Amino acid sequence: MLATSIPLLTRYVFDFSGLQVGLASALFSVSTFLMSAYINTKLTSHVRRNLFVGSTLVYALTFPLFYFSSEYSIWPLVFLAGFVLGAVMPNIITSAGLFPDRRIRERVLAIYTFTLSASLIAGPAIDSAVLWFFTLRESFLFFTIFPAILFIASFFIRFPESEDTGPTTKVWRNPGFRVSVYNILAYNIPFGVILTFGGIFARDSFHASYSLITLLFSLFFATSLLGRLLLTIRTPENLWRLMSVSVALTVVGLTVLGVSHSLYGYALSLLILGLPHGLTYPLSLLTLSRSFDERTRSAANSYFFSIMMASGAIMPFAAGALVELIGIQHSFIAIIPPVGALYYLLKREMGRKTSIPAEPRP
């Protein structure tokens, strides 16, 4: 909800420029990156658990504060919400992958990503209904209930008993980690731009209402849910083939979005782009699960998540500058070459390591 609503709030309530909207989204991701990469990875399991519970509480408290925010207070508030999220998401991923049996572990990871995708459908859909009757500001009050539920659930999340918090280079030297990173970046870069400027594009180009904008995002997450449902039903042995399909669909979806001249074309592009969104994230998590043992998996997950957030921080800022220079629609086309470059790196890495091992090497 925050990822799609903060850009709308800053643009249409505070009248921010495209560059300022990008900066606000970038700040959210930067703060998440700082927590995930520099704090969460350095803590013991016991301390991380306490941090996790406390972070879910703070995250819940930030939602009503958005209702009272101003064009000045929005900046520290966005930073705080992103910062505590950096202690929430990596630990949920680690908890989902604690099962020793590979098939059970991968099934649970698939179910986790499926549940996450389902919530991403429900969020925009509920937000769309809420915005029929309430303002953008008031919608934050309504959604406070969901992080409050997460805070209650945080007391029941499992954490590993012992871990290896070795240096970053130890994680990066693992080829499975590099494959996971290249794979997620090939989609996370355009995804960050779509979340930040997709709704603004629909509003400015097609005069879509706030309610319709959030409803269209639910179409995007619906096809994402379909992709994750397929992975939940049957976890693939060959991850590379699906990674290639995801990149191809990303390029096709961005092309359709870049040439759309109607709301129907915009909706079609979201339907296409939802599929790689559904496939890419769980494929990277499955790769990490197969490449690291339980002692190192938490650090790998944290570094992986921090890289996701770093890209999420850079892209809105870069896209904001690009939008100011060439416009929103042309910017969607302009990010296709970086996606192609990442696919080349991914293919080269997979060429060196033709398959990710079924179980991590000791």
Rounded distance, CA 315 to CA 318, Å?
5
Of 41-45, 65-69, 274-278, 336-340, least confident by mean pLDDT is 41-45
In a domain, 97, yes or no: yes
Percent pLDDT > 90 in the chain is 26
Give mean pLDDT, residues 322-349.
90
List CB contacts of 301: < 8 A, sequence separation 6 or more: 90, 93, 94, 97, 288
Question: Quick one: pLDDT at residue 41?
Answer: 76
**pLDDT tens digits for range 72-86:** 999 999 999 999 998
Q: What's this model's pTM, rounded to 2 decimal places?
A: 0.72
Of 202-206, 286-290, 319-323, 355-359, least confident by mean pLDDT is 355-359
How confident is residue 336, by pLDDT bands cut at 50, 70 and 90? very high
Question: Quick one: pLDDT at residue 97?
Answer: 64
**What is the number of structural domains in the chain?**
1
For position 42, which CATH number holds? 1.20.1250.20
In a domain, 293, yes or no: yes
* Structural domain containing residue 154: 2-352
In a domain, 358, yes or no: no
Examine the pLDDT at 20 and tell me if it is beyond 80: yes
Examine the pLDDT at 163 and tell me if it is beyond 70: no
Q: Which of 38-42, 47-51, 63-67, 126-130 has the highest mean pLDDT?
A: 63-67
Look at the alpha carbons of 43, 45, 51, 55 in this order and tell me if their dihedral is positive or negative.
positive
In a domain, 360, yes or no: no
Q: What's the chain's average pLDDT?
A: 83
In a domain, 359, yes or no: no
In a domain, 236, yes or no: yes
In a domain, 361, yes or no: no
Long-range contacts of 248-257 (CB under 8 A, 24+ apart): 249/273, 249/275, 249/276, 250/186, 250/187, 250/190, 250/276, 250/339, 251/336, 251/339, 251/340, 254/190, 254/332, 254/333, 254/335, 254/336, 254/339, 255/333, 255/336, 257/194, 257/198, 257/329, 257/332
Examine the pLDDT at 252 and tell me if it is beyond 50: yes
**pLDDT tens digits for range 180-221:** 999 999 988 888 788 878 888 899 889 888 888 878 887 888
In a domain, 179, yes or no: yes
Long-range contacts of 120-123 (CB under 8 A, 24+ apart): 120/221, 120/224, 120/225, 121/218, 121/221, 121/222, 121/224, 121/225, 123/1, 123/4, 123/221
How confident is residue 362, by pLDDT bands cut at 50, 70 and 90? very low
**pLDDT tens digits for range 131-162:** 788 888 888 888 888 889 889 988 887 776 65
Degrees, nearest 5: CA angle 351-353-356? 125
Nearest residue to 90 via CA among 37, 156, 165: 37
Measured between alpha carbons, how far is residue 12 from residues 16, 29, 356, 358 in Å?
7, 21, 46, 49
Examine the pLDDT at 259 and tell me if it is beyond 80: yes
Examine the pLDDT at 54 and tell me if it is beyond 90: yes
